[in-house]
Each structure stands twice: as structure tokens, then as C-alpha cells.
A and B are shown apart, each in its own frame.
Chain A
Amino acid sequence: MKKTRMVVGLSLVAISGLVFMAADHADAPAVTGNASDITDVYAFQGQDTNNMVFVVNTQGLLTPGATAMAAFNENVMVEINIDNTGDNVEDLVIQAIKRDNKMYFFGPVAPGTTGVNSMVKTNAMAGSVDISQYGSTPIIATANGMKFFAGPRDDPFFFDLGQFKAILGGTATGFNSPGTDTFAGTNVLSTIVEVPKSLLGTSSTINVWAETKKKQ
């Protein structure tokens, strides 16, 4: 009996594990549920059309009750990579990392080395911002023509992931209408930076990706 219960419990864990995979939310075992897990990346023109906005969200599917306790990790850097020569190798990086109650931003600057290993470009500090607290007005800092934010936000991603999993699992043949947003009512930890386009090089297009990197 005890064993049966345990098996049922484990199956539920396995099922919820399946259900709670998302845009990239909790996509892989090594990062799921920790500060390194990137849920979504956005890059769009700012309200001031001379600027580009980069959003990197981490730690997805935070319930309102869990959000106040969620925190950035001082050993995990968020790095926005920008290729402006079309070879999918980063020519510029924007780095963000927490120290005490602030998020510090560096760049856009050429990386010391490209690829999986990075050091903080301390000679290219762009600014810093107090990390916004759950339930408080967002704190925005500006410096060097850039704007900075770090803290909890509503997860902007929307998807009927539950139904998609049912389709993949063979228990449904299509989406429902209307669908159900699996991410409704959940939060993420956002790192947001707005940058003058003039700091991103002279190309007409850029390739962008985000990475989390952990101190060894």
C-alpha cells in the first residue's frame, strides 16, 4: 500500500514535470528551478525608437506566494550576446550580475573571450539599479543613455502548454477554443535593459541570444 502510494506520488511528480515545461521554462534538468534557468528572451525597439530593449526572464512559473522569496544569485551572471557580423559569434555582450541589493550592468562591450567562459567586464560598467521588491513600484535607473530594471514581473509568455502536452501524449487531437494560458497568474524574475542602438554597432540587423553563466 505504502509502495503504491509512493509510485502514484512519483508519477504525479513526473507528470507535473512534463506539464511545467514551457517557452524554455524549466527546460532542462541542470537548470530547472534555479537562478540559471532562462524562461524567455525578448528584443524590441523601445518607446524611444533610437533605443533597443533586451529582456531576459528567469525562474518561471513563480506563484504569487513564492515570488517574494525568489532571488537573483550573486554567482549567476545574465549575459546578453550580440552578433553584428552575421557569424553567430558574439561581438558585444551586456552583462548583469547581482551584488548585495543591486544589479550591476556592464557593456555593451566586446567580450574578453567568446564562447562558454566569461569574465565580468569590470572596466565597462554601465550602471546599476536597486533590485525591485515584490509588490513595490518598479525601481528604474538611468545612466549613459541606458535604462535598467531587475526584479519580479508578470510572466509575459502565454501558451496552452497543458493542451500541447496532451496532444503530444496522444490524449488529445487538437487545441481547445478558447485555450487555457498555462502561465496565467505566474511571475518571473526579469532583467531589463534599454540601450541606444548607436552602442550596438553599425549593422542593419543583429543576432541576439541570452546566456546564464555561473561562477566556477
Chain B
Amino acid sequence: MKTYKISIVTMSLLFAATLLVSCDNNGDSPAASLDFSGTYVQQDQMARPAINTVFIASGAPKDAFNTAIPSAMGASYQSVFQSRLLALNSGYTTNALGQTAAQLTGLLATDVLGVKKTGTTTFFDGTNVLTGRALADDVIDVELLLIFGGPSGTSNPRLTKDNVNANDKAFTASFPYLAAAW
């Protein structure tokens, strides 16, 4: 009987705790008094890794790209990206995806990350191409290969991979997935 009472008390406490947590998370009442008013204006924009760093000139042009919206980027930036690509690799013909300079830069200039809603999500895993970006993806090697590797991926072998193949801490299988801070 005593044990029974204790477990009732324990369960009630647990239940109360759960209620408190969920109230807190719904945030209705505490948030009602908070001020979220005002207009918020774009400062930075990013989807695919390293695009602004690699393809946009230093200084004001980087700020301009960061405050552009993706639907307007293609028209404004494809030719800028193509000039930069050919400056990086003057021997560019096509890449391992069969893309011409205009096609590759046309894709990259609109800075959005394509993500598949079913199945594997990865920048590139040998099979799937641009279906998302997972934490362990070696995105830099993919971009280097597409920029320097030529049609068969074998050109400029000392420029197509940086030989840093993984993060310096292991990721976790469950939320929040990223490793603890150093």
C-alpha cells in the first residue's frame, strides 16, 4: 500500500514535470509578453559551402552577394562566377558531371541547397549527388573535383582533394548531432 502511494506520488510529480515542460515549450504564456515586433533585414545568406568565399571578390562584392536573394542571383552572378572559374582553372572544359563552365556556374550562382525529402541526404556520396548536406560530407573535395578535375575527375590531381577527409570530432547519431564544443 505504501509502495503504491509512493508510485502515485512519483507519477504525479512526473506528470506535473511533463506538463511544466510542455507549457514551457509551447511558450504561449511566457512569449506573449515578449516583443518580437519590427522589420528584420537580410545581412548574410548561405546555402552551398564556400560559394561566396571562392567565387566572389573580397570586400563590398561579398557583402552584396550576402544580401542578394536566390531568385535574383543567377542573372546577376552567373557571368561573375564563370570568369572566376576560368581564372582558377584556365584549362576548364567540362567536369565529372559533364557540365560546361556556363552550366556549372549557372548551377552554383543560385545559392540554394537542393534537398531530397526521401532517402539519403548528401552533397555527394559516390551515388547520390546534391540531395542535401550531411555533417560528414567532404564538401570541399566535391567542389575541388568539379572545379579542377576535368571530365574524368583525373586532371590536376594535387588540386582535387585537400586530404582532410573528416571532422576532428565524431558526430552523434541522435539530436543535436553536432559534437560538443572544444
Contact = CB atoms under 8 A, between A and B. Distances in A.
Given A38-B46, A149-B175, A213-B43, A184 B168 contact: yes
B69 A116 contact: yes
Contacts of A164: 162
B174 interface: yes
B31 A160 contact: no
A67 B181 contact: yes
Given A47-B173, A153-B180, A29 B26 contact: no
Given A45-B121, A190-B176, A209 B45 contact: yes
A177 interface: yes
A143 B25 contact: yes
Contacts of B116: 204-205
Given A138-B176, A181-B168, A213-B40, A125 B121 contact: no
A147 B175 contact: yes
A76 to B, nearest CB: 7
A64 B182 contact: yes
A31 B181 contact: no
A41 B40 contact: no
Given A88-B110, A205-B117, A212-B42, A104 B135 contact: no
Contacts of B169: 154
A172 to B, nearest CB: 9
Contacts of B139: 23
A62 B181 CA distance: 10
Interface string A12-45: 0000000001111101111100001110111111
A28 B176 contact: no
Given A154-B178, A160-B162, A192-B175, A27 B53 contact: yes
A176 to B, nearest CB: 6
Contact of A197 (B69, B117, B135, B164): B117
B44 A37 contact: yes
B8 interface: no
B25 A174 contact: no
A153 B178 contact: yes
A205 B114 CA distance: 7
Interface of A: 21-25, 27-31, 36-38, 40-47, 52-53, 55, 62, 64, 67, 76-77, 79, 81, 83, 87-89, 97, 99, 104, 114-120, 122, 125, 127-129, 134-135, 138, 140-143, 147, 149, 152-154, 156-160, 163-164, 167, 173-181, 183-187, 190, 192, 194, 197, 200, 203-216
Interface of B: 21-22, 24-28, 30-31, 34, 36-47, 49-53, 56, 59-60, 62-63, 65-67, 69-71, 73, 110-122, 131-135, 138-140, 157-159, 161-169, 171, 173-182
